[in-house]
Amino acid sequence: MEKIIEKWEKFQDTPLNIRSRVLVLISVIFLLAVFIFPLWRMQFFAIFYPDGLKLYIYSYKLEGGKTAWRDDLREINILNHYIGMKPISQSDFAEFTYLPFVFGALGLLTLRAVVLGKISTLVDLIVMYFYVGIFSILDFYNRLYTYGHNLAPDAPIKVQPFTPPLFGKKLIAQFTVYSYPDLGTIGMLLTVITLILALILTLKEVKA
């Protein structure tokens, strides 16, 4: 048993090879997408909104689509008022205050792995990315559920409580709602894929 533990610890301490470190560095570039692009987008189509209302969710803000005559977030909140839904307000999302710091910390830890990286460091890093990703998705779903199920009973238009789609499309009243990951989430996914590839490269060298 002691030999197994000793062998495992030695394996964990194996340094990353040069190719793996290059891939880890590239992964940081993909991560920058979470600071530049939306993580998620939602679009709302109806007969009287043929071009759709758009809502973009960044790691640090909410933003509606904008035209010369319309702010989509304001329009969505007006429509939500009629069915008794609470206005969607950036100030209600505590996540916007800490998510940028979480992603920033992940970026710094990733850079640290380039310089001091071992197999154990990279495994821990991949686990942290998965944790942040899963937590964010569950938190987003909870937000959608809360908004759609806490409807004012005296609303002018009565609708059954609902959960807007987390992914895909859903018919809600007269609206077809689409919800999809945007470039920020795709960037984070590419970051994780690149880290996994970096781990595989070093593992192959160890086994050779």
From 2-16, 37-51, 113-127, 157-171, the region with the lowest mean pLDDT: 2-16
Mean pLDDT of 76-89: 88
| CA 13 to the chain's CA centroid | 31
Mean pLDDT of 92-104: 91
Q: Which helix (H) or strand (E) holds 28?
A: helix 18-31
* pLDDT score for 116: 83
Mean pLDDT of 51-69: 90
Which token pair is 109? 């830890």
Check pLDDT > 70 for residue 47. Answer: yes
Q: Name the E strands within 18-174.
A: 40-46, 49-57, 62-64, 168-172
Mean pLDDT of 164-170: 92
User: CA torsion, points 118, 124, 127, 132, in degrees to nearest 10?
Assistant: -120
Candidate ranges 4-8, 23-27, 63-67; pick with highest mean pLDDT: 23-27
Residue 136 carries which DSSP code? Answer: H
* pLDDT score for 155: 83
Burial 70-99 (b: 16+ CB within 10 A, else e): eebbebbbebbeebbbeebeeeebebbeeb
* pLDDT score for 13: 72
Question: 17-34, pLDDT tens digit by residue?
Answer: 899 999 999 999 999 999
Check pLDDT > 90 for residue 12. Answer: no
Domain boundaries, the chain: 2-207
Mean pLDDT of 121-130: 92
* pLDDT score for 98: 93
Architecture of domain 2-207: Up-down Bundle (1.20)
Distances (CA, A) of 47 to 82, 94, 172, 193: 17, 34, 13, 40
* pLDDT score for 11: 63
- Nearest CA to 39 among 92, 93, 113? 93
* pLDDT score for 202: 86
Check pLDDT > 90 for residue 67. Answer: no
Check pLDDT > 80 for residue 4. Answer: no
Mean pLDDT of the chain: 88
Cβ atoms of residues 16 and 113 within 8 Å: yes
Mean pLDDT of 104-127: 90
